[in-house]
């Protein structure tokens, strides 16, 4: 029950049904269960197997509660029977649940060697498993624990130093000391036993105080060159998007909304991912109309469109095109991190039962790497769809010289589920990490502007047409995270491995 309770609390830490406060206590029930010294629960032959089951149970509830919407996507847009869609979703949930399972095994093994002190190592182990989830088998770093605090700005500022993983570690530390206090079994209370709790409380308060001052100063919102951006949210239903009967109407509406944004003072306009109902380079008539509009208004436009490369053995890309103010193409970014089961199907032979999905999913190719797009005298970057949830990918753009983070997406797939809200908040964390404004154009929302401190300057509602116009800035500032990346996360992985090696002998003797 305690492991399941942790899963529920983790799921309730994220939007749209949860609250960030749950995250701070979410891991405590699982950790208390792992510290249970009852021999009936952890008999020697199965001590780690039971811990693994507890962690997997936590993970299954955690990810089923936050990724439930994938079933809808698979059934409606992947042409799968509902029961097959449930099966595919369940497979992903079980895979992701392996990481909390590994976390539980490591903590329990450390507990068998060093006792309750293992609880104090739990935050480090948790971050190590989150790092693994980000990269293993292409990675899927959705709803990392630290993302739960994207709207709690005093705490979220920690991401400017150590990324989202630093926020995860701080949150996990609170659960660890709660479990530490709950599992105290001495005959009488000793002041030293309260030391970890006092230290963590002091740390949280210190981070909150520093973060409050940092966010309130808004120093970087007064630096750099301002630019008024216009975000076009067409709200095109997925079923209509590629219907030839609606193509002209869709394009006309985007042109009209672009004129509206320019009329409101936009100096740089963004269309969403795959926004054109045609391949931009293939349909010369509509493409030339858009180029003429850009040339007339002298306003650059970034738009998403599929790209077919005839010179590269017919490879197919999910791409973003930047049009200069003279209407010519300034650059093209090809998406590098593709969505498994959305843009390609990994292990097609293994997922033979999902044959309709394999047929329905476009077989995209990955782009070659980081590409910056010139907007006047400035360099900007774009992340397409869920690329924005990969911290190091966005950091590579900034390291290459990006002065403004943009992201374009089509969240129509998600319906009115939790996913659009989760996606937007995770994108917001990149602004804090990199010390950059982030602007986001989403087909069905949420579109918005986020300042370098994670403050939402403007945002739209979901599933309604919208033109969002507001100020961002080109910045060349630098955070500790932008300069040094995921040093804390990798250090956590090294420390976790070192602890396992150092405690191996004593664990085997128990």
Per-residue pLDDT tens over the stretch 163-173:
999 999 999 99
Task: Based on the residue annotation, tell me whether 273 is a catalytic residue of this protein.
Answer: yes
Task: Based on the residue annotation, tell me whether 315 is a catalytic residue of this protein.
Answer: no
Question: What confidence score (pLDDT) does residue 351 get?
Answer: 60
User: Which pair of tokens denotes residue 227?
Assistant: 């630019």
Question: What confidence score (pLDDT) does residue 278 get?
Answer: 77
Q: How far apart are CA 271 and CA 287, in angstroms?
A: 14
Domains and CATH numbers, the chain: 2-218+486-509 (no CATH), 224-476 (3.60.110.10)
Question: What confidence score (pLDDT) does residue 39 get?
Answer: 47
Specify the higher pLDDT residue, 41 or 367: 367
Per-residue pLDDT tens over the stretch 385-405:
999 999 999 999 999 999 999
Per-residue pLDDT tens over the stretch 78-101:
777 888 889 889 999 999 999 999
Per-chain mean pLDDT for the chain: 90
Candidate from 44-48, 196-200, 334-338, 353-357 with smallest mean pLDDT = 353-357
List the end-to-end C-alpha distance of the chain, in Å, as a whole number: 26
Question: What confidence score (pLDDT) does residue 373 get?
Answer: 97
Q: What is the pLDDT averaged over residues 138-154?
A: 96
Q: What is the pLDDT averaged over residues 280-300?
A: 87
Helices marked H in 189-310: 195-217, 238-241, 244-263, 284-297
The single residue of 130, 385, 403, 433 carrying the catalytic annotation is 385
Q: Are 3 and 30 a contacting pair, CB within 8 Å?
A: yes
Question: What confidence score (pLDDT) does residue 465 get?
Answer: 96
pTM of the model: 0.93
Band (pLDDT 50/70/90 cuts) for residue 510 is very low
The single residue of 130, 241, 267, 335 carrying the catalytic annotation is 335
Question: For the residues of 3-68, what is the DSSP string, one character each?
Answer: HHHHHHHHHTTSTTT--GGGGGGTTHHHHHHHT---TTTS-GGGHHHHHHHHHHHHHHHHHHHHST
Per-residue pLDDT tens over the stretch 350-380:
665 555 555 555 677 888 889 999 999 999 9
Q: Tell how far CA 434 is from the center of its chain.
A: 14
Q: How far apart are CA 381 and CA 438, in angstroms?
A: 10
Q: How far apart are CA 254 and CA 270, in angstroms?
A: 11
């Amino acid at each position: 029950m305690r492991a399941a309770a942790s899963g529920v609390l983790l799921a309730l830490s994220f939007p749209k049904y949860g609250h960030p406060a749950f995250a701070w206590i979410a891991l405590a029930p699982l950790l208390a269960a792992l510290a249970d010294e009852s021999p009936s629960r952890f008999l020697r032959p199965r001590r780690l197997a039971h811990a693994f089951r507890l962690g997997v149970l936590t993970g299954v509830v955690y990810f089923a509660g936050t990724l439930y919407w994938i079933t809808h996507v698979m059934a409606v847009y992947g042409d799968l029977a509902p029961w097959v869609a449930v099966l595919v979703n369940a497979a992903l949930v079980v895979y992701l649940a392996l990481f909390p399972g590994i976390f539980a095994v490591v903590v329990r093994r450390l507990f068998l060697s060093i006792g309750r002190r293992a609880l104090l190592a739990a935050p480090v182990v948790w971050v190590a498993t989150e790092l693994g989830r980000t990269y293993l088998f292409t990675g899927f770093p959705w709803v990392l624990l630290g993302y739960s605090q994207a709207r709690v700005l005093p705490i979220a500022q920690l991401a400017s130093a150590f990324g989202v993983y630093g926020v995860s570690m701080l949150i996990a530390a609170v659960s660890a000391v709660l479990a530490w206090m709950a599992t105290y079994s001495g005959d009488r209370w000793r002041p030293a036993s309260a030391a970890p709790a006092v230290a963590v409380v002091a740390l949280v308060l210190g981070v909150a105080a520093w973060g409050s001052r940092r966010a309130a100063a808004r120093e970087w919102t007064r630096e750099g060159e301002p630019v008024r951006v216009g975000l076009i949210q067409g709200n095109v239903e997925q079923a209509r998007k590629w219907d030839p009967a609606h193509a002209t109407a869709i394009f006309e509406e985007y042109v009209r909304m672009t004129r509206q944004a320019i009329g409101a003072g936009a100096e740089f306009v963004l269309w969403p991912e795959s926004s054109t109902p045609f391949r931009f380079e293939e349909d010369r008539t509509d493409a030339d109309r858009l180029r003429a509009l850009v040339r007339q208004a002298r306003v650059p436009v970034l738009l998403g469109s599929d790209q077919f490369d005839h010179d590269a053995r017919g490879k197919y890309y999910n791409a973003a095109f930047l049009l200069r103010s003279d209407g010519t193409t300034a650059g093209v970014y090809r998406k590098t991190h593709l969505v498994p089961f959305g843009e390609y199907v990994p292990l097609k032979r293994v997922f033979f039962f999902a044959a309709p999905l394999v047929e329905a999913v476009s077989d995209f190719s990955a782009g070659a790497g980081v590409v910056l797009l010139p907007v006047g005298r400035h360099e900007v970057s774009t992340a397409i769809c869920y690329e924005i949830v990969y911290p190091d990918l966005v950091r590579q753009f900034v390291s290459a010289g990006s002065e403004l983070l943009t992201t374009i997406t089509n969240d129509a797939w998600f319906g009115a589920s939790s996913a659009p809200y989760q996606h937007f908040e995770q994108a917001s964390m990149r602004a804090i990490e990199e010390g950059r404004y982030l602007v986001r154009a989403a087909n069905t929302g949420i579109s918005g502007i986020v300042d370098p401190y994670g403050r939402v300057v403007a945002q739209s509602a979901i599933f309604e047409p919208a033109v969002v116009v507001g100020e961002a800035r080109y910045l060349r500032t630098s955070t500790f995270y932008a300069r040094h990346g995921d040093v804390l996360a990798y250090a956590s992985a090294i420390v976790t491995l070192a602890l396992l090696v150092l405690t191996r002998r004593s664990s085997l003797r128990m």
